[in-house]
A and B are shown apart, each in its own frame.
Chain A
Amino acid sequence: MLFSASATPLVPSLCLLAAEKPVNRRPMMMRLSGGGAIGSSSSSSNFDLKTYWGTLMTEINQKLDEAIPVKYPAGIYESMRYSVLAQGAKRAPPVMCVAACELFGGDRLAAFPTACALEMVHAASLIHDDLPCMDDDPVRRGKPSNHTVYGSDIAILAGDALFPLAFQHIVSHTPPDLVPRATILRVIAEIARTVGSTGMAAGQFVDLEGGPFPPSFVQEKKFGAMAECSAVCGGLLGGATDHELETLRRYGRAVGMLYQVVDDEKKTDGAIQMAQELKDKAKKELQVFDDDDDKYSEELVVPLHTFVDYAAHRHFLLPL
């Protein structure tokens, strides 16, 4: 059952991956089909999504606050905190990571440090994206962007500092009794690959350069990459098999791209068709988890469905 556009959204101004645009606008993709099917069983209809997401957000915000205390020299820490702790950040990468971890029976304590790290990396890439020599965005999440407050030099350094802090945080805070060290290395490798020349940097490069790449390449590289990374890291931490990880990878990539296609608001038939395909693709990947009740908790697949629904419709679907 669809929420109407005028209903109170689950979390005000929730915006999945890059919350720089106002969200109180009419969602464009009302016409996408298949919007009602999260699950018809009683356990998913009892799932309290609002509390799930809200609790996670609160916890992640607190951990991020603790992870970046202001030390000497204060300016750089303040710049880092300014972007990471920005109000209006919806914490989609961390929440997706925790959700994916729990889907496989993982403890969320295992996922929290990586979840925080994902947010740090996400914030770092946004800081750099906004720079005058890049997208030249004076505003981010409704506030002055980092470099307009702290200067380009400090903003570049803040981004440069957040990347290693993310890795450091994962290693120092992930309980070794919950996560083997070999898995931590895989998580770090995954995040590094996402950020690097095959992932987000590549997407931004193409965004700046233009060139012969199709729009889907940019979307995939920038937004798809982050969502994919979040889902896969969560799966790694939850003990997913390689096969399950590939499913999560495809799911995450589709959700990220779907978000961007809808965000771009191009009302062409091509865009609408692409969005529908992406939505179907993401849902299809989740089917393997939906179908096996013994292995995967029904309840815990729900959050992953809601990411798709939100990306497509900009509000959540809750069964009545």
Chain B
Amino acid sequence: MAEYSLLAGGKRVRPLLCIAACELVGGDEATAMSTACAVEMIHTSSLVHDDLPCMDNADLRRGKPTNHKVFGEDMAVLAGDALFALAFEHMTALSSALVVSPKRKVRAVIELAKAIGTKGLVGGQVIDLCSEGLNRDDAGLERLEFIHLHKTAALLVAAAVVGAILGGGTEDEIKKLRKYARCIRLLFQVVDDILYVTKSTDKLGKSAGNDVVAGKLTYPRLISLERSRELAEKLSKEAEEQLLGFDPNKAVPLVALASYIAGRHNRS
């Protein structure tokens, strides 16, 4: 069941980010690989649990039936637990210890652990669950950002940060990568929300800005479509700024990633 979810599509953004960050600061792919895979296992594990009936109750994931639909809720709970455990087992395995200093590995463990617990993924999911059906006055930008920073951004940010840690980045470099990752994840969400609103608008033939997407907390719904687009611009610029000062050749994948995410709404 774990294999079903782990190998079912997915763009592998987090592991790629991990490896790219590692290489950016002078490390190599081999150093980051086992941790990069661990990050993807954790990501998958969180999706399997998120999709459960008592949580987000999703029937489809990555174009396929969700894990619990195929294997049952009990197996899905266990598969998520097992994948999570395997992730940490994989990244702390003796074989990978030969390539990376224990001090850096331990720091990577704690960074990932923080990102997926109550201060990260779980915290965000809890608030998300409590926010269903809230109206605009109750919801607020702050809550939306809390959800995104914790539920969706935390692990992606951690992926970049642990890549930098494992590659031997300085504190300043790690800080920049943290900020870069945070920016692109929020950027992705803002763009996604813009697309959601504009697509719905096209589909329903109503003008943009109408509250046609009631029930889903989105940036356009909270701060208007125009301000959402401005926010996307701002985040895109901030992401790029973090990459200045690094070797441009090594920064190419990360620059390209930011551009791609930012450019999505222009192609809609």
Contacts and interface: CB of A to CB of B under 8 A. Distances in A.
Interface of A: 71-73, 75-77, 80, 125, 128, 131, 133-134, 151-154, 156-157, 159-161, 163-165, 167-168, 171-172, 180-182, 184-186, 188-189, 192-197, 199, 201-202, 204-205, 208
User: Main secondary structure on chain A at its contact with chain B?
Assistant: helix
A202 B75 CA distance: 10
A205 B49 contact: no
Contact of B113 (A71, A131, A154, A171): A171
A182 B116 CA distance: 23
A208 B75 CA distance: 9
Given A164-B116, A165-B118, A192 B110 contact: no
A160 B49 contact: yes
Given A73-B130, A76-B126, A197 B54 contact: no
A197 B82 contact: yes
A156 B89 contact: no
Nearest to B46: A160
A102 B109 CA distance: 26
B85 A182 contact: no
A164 B117 CA distance: 6
Contacts of B125: 157
B102 interface: yes
Nearest to A180: B102
Contacts of B121: 160
A157 B116 CA distance: 10
Contacts of B123: 72-73, 76
B77 A134 contact: yes
Contacts of B94: 186, 189
A125 B84 CA distance: 13
Closest 7 CB pairs of A and B: A196-B85, A133-B73, A192-B89, A181-B102, A164-B113, A192-B88, A195-B85
Contacts of A193: 85, 89
A167 B122 contact: no
A157 B110 contact: no
A303 to B, nearest CB: 28
A205 B78 contact: yes
B92 A188 contact: yes
Contacts of A161: 117-118, 122
B126 A185 contact: no
Given A73-B126, A171-B109, A197 B97 contact: no
B82 A185 contact: no
Interface string B50-80: 0010110000000000000000111101101
